[in-house]
Amino acid sequence: MAVDLTKTRNIGICAHIDAGKTTVTERILYYTGRSYKIGEVHEGTATMDFLEEEQERGITIQSAATTCPWEHNGRTYTINLIDTPGHVDFTIEVERSLRVLDGMVAVFDAKEGVEAQSETVWRQADRYRVPRISFINKMDKIGAHFQESFTSLRDRLGANPIAVQLPIGADETFEGIVDLVEMQAYYFDASELGARIEQRPIPPEMLKTAERWYHELVEKAADLDDALTEQYVEDERSITGDQIRAALRRGTIALQCTPVFCGAALRNIGIQRLLNGVIEYLPDPTEVPPVQGVNPRNPIQKISRPHSEDAPFSALVFKVVSDIHGDLTYIRVYSGRIGKGSRLLNPDSRKKEVISRIFEMHAKDRQPLDSIGAGQIAAVIGPKRSFTGDTLCDPEHPIILERITFPEPVITMSIEPTTNNDKTRLAEAMATIHREDPSFHFTYNEETGETIIAGMGELHLEIIKNKLVRDRKVDVRVGTPTVSYRETITGSASGVRGRFIKQTGGRGQFGDVVINVCPISTQQAKEQDLPMIDGVVFADRITGGVIPREYISAVATGIRNAAKSGILGGYSVVNVMVELVDGSHHEVDSSTVAFEQAGALAFREACTEAGLALLEPIMKVTIVTPDDYFGPVSADLASRRGQIVETQLRGKVRVITAVVPLGEMFGYTTIMRGLTQGRGTSSMEPSEYRPMPDRLRDEVLSRA
């Protein structure tokens, strides 16, 4: 049955850890009738945090999807909702969710305002051009301050926040909200878990404040609409609530503003009005631009697909979850419609896939569907060779949609099975986890016999270890975490030759290449539209057929393999552009193997000639501490080669933003708590890679 896309919203709930995302989501499920009981994070009963690890730790580790109905102005809407983690170690979950969503609700703690991970999520939403509304949560918290949190959206995110609500009171006195568009107050009956809402006039003591904010709301709405600007100049009071909403909706979808709501999810205040805001201000699938892709037969040719069931089918795989009945493959459908038993093409792997079953997901529960169409998010069973970021499409009308960007791991750890029987099971379990979580990597070092796992942080690797032991029943021993370094070149080298010649009687091996190398950043590669794969840009500059076409890709493979194995200390070489400019071949002895080897030899020689440096991951660290401890905390950061970028005084609390090498930060949380007598908190996220000081580089290389 065709779905009315104008009544569909695909949204995500995103925020810094502990801002209350899952609590907001649980209230949404309750008020939409999706669950009959409100689950609580602190009790381990949250519907969306269904993993045992999530319930024990009280945090979200993986994104969870659900579909729920909401009635607004007499019409029933379908909201496809994804609750995402707030911890930076699981940023891949946010990344892949935002890639397939049409809108986002950004949740902020009313006391803390914009926090470190809030900025990361906001930048991710900017990258995928996702319209968003903001919800200032925890207005009942001691120290909650709406004005300061609202201002931090503008100052720290560069956003254009427009308040559509005001809190009535704050801290313990918080009791309701003022809707500025309607200029009415709303109170939520605590005896009925906030389900019954009472509309009243604005309290007299708030009237002046509300009038001031209303004037600012109308002024900003008029800035978004030329016709409204003229009306505003002539008579501000003639502008209606519907006109304000229409202007804000256009501005939100065009990424020109973010409407700001407020409430207290734990006390069941403000969630229904937030849901109305999702319907009123976030786009339906027909209001976002047609999805873009390329023709797999001609990657230069751009293709777009309209959000219509009449168009050829196209969908993006954004998550794979291992299941005893077969892998659950989560997809976002952009165009077309398919039913059970449909045969689709994965143009990335060039393999055909069969969709045997289709499910609408509600956290871990599932509801069978006969078909899915444009604008829907669902899970399917059947695909065996389709992974996160792959496209599924109509075999007669192939398209490759833009892939999802995966963050590079910054921390590694050795891992080994406790018994020989567990060896094979460990390899299979890690392959399954990597399929589910592409930010987790693992490699086997044949020289040392060690298996090395890599991830986004200490917590990430700890969760992986627990998955292996608890879910996969594989007993393992783990080493201490170590830093994931990188290598890069410091200069350029031209005309470097790599020759691989082997004569063993009969047919020999002959490969001969000449390359240039130079440094290139990820940003430069993007600006020049050059594909960077695993940190290396490969450019074919061969003319006159001196190297036959069939060997060019072998040269690229040899170069990339050499880059992965490293030159200085076995760490991957990144940010290198390689130009294949010349070479020669032998009619009989040349082969793909020979040209792979020649490419690898030339690459190592050219990088050595260009000069090599060791890069270390730098973390952006945010510390919140009572101002009394600023001295000891800043001195400790300096001792860790840290640089303080910014400090802010918020009342008696100091917020410190610093950049510090990851190698200096192991176990930092415990030390920082000791320095602040348990009153400080910290969070960190990967920032960039920087060259190491020579002395420390030599120390690392001596251990490699």
User: What are the structural domains, with CATH classification, of the chain?
Assistant: 5-287 (3.40.50.300), 291-401 (2.40.30.10), 411-482 (3.30.70.870), 487-610 (3.30.230.10), 616-703 (3.30.70.240)
pLDDT in tens, 440-463: 888 876 655 678 888 887 788 888
Higher pLDDT, 64 or 210: 210
Identify the CA nearest to 600 among candidates 543, 662, 536: 536
The values of phi and psi at residue 424, to 5°, are: -65, -40
pLDDT in tens, 89-119: 667 777 878 888 999 999 999 988 888 778 8
**pLDDT confidence band for 87 (50 / 70 / 90):** low
- Residue 199 has a pLDDT of 93
DSSP 642-673: -EEEEEEEETTEEEEEEEEEGGG-TTHHHHHH
- Residue 447 has a pLDDT of 55
369/338 Cα distance (integer angstroms) = 11
pLDDT (mean) for 670-691: 83
- 428 has pLDDT over 70: yes
* SS3 of residue 332 by DSSP: strand
- Residue 325 has a pLDDT of 66
198/176 Cα distance (integer angstroms) = 10
Whole-structure pTM value: 0.75
Percent of the chain with pLDDT over 90: 46
- Residue 511 has a pLDDT of 93
- Residue 603 has a pLDDT of 97
- 504 has pLDDT over 80: no
**pLDDT confidence band for 342 (50 / 70 / 90):** very high
CB hemisphere CA count around 307 (13 angstroms): 19
Identify the CA nearest to 70 among candidates 62, 82, 79: 79
669/621 Cα distance (integer angstroms) = 11
- 208 has pLDDT over 70: yes
- 7 has pLDDT over 90: yes
Mean pLDDT (the chain) is 87
pLDDT in tens, 147-159: 999 999 998 888 9
CB of 329 closer than 8 Å to CB of 317: yes
- Residue 243 has a pLDDT of 94
- 391 has pLDDT over 90: yes
pLDDT (mean) for 509-519: 94
* SS3 of residue 191 by DSSP: helix
pLDDT (mean) for 160-181: 94
- Residue 49 has a pLDDT of 46
Higher pLDDT, 702 or 337: 337
- Residue 50 has a pLDDT of 44
Burial environment of residue 487 by CB neighbours within 10 A (0 to 12, 13 to 18, 19 or more): buried
Percent of the chain with pLDDT over 70: 93
589/594 Cα distance (integer angstroms) = 9
**pLDDT confidence band for 42 (50 / 70 / 90):** very low
- 233 has pLDDT over 80: yes
Pick from 223-237, 255-269, 380-394: least confident: 223-237
- Residue 604 has a pLDDT of 95
Identify the CA nearest to 139 among candidates 114, 109, 116, 163: 109
pLDDT in tens, 408-424: 787 888 888 888 778 88
pLDDT (mean) for 636-657: 88
Pick from 220-224, 372-376, 480-484: least confident: 480-484
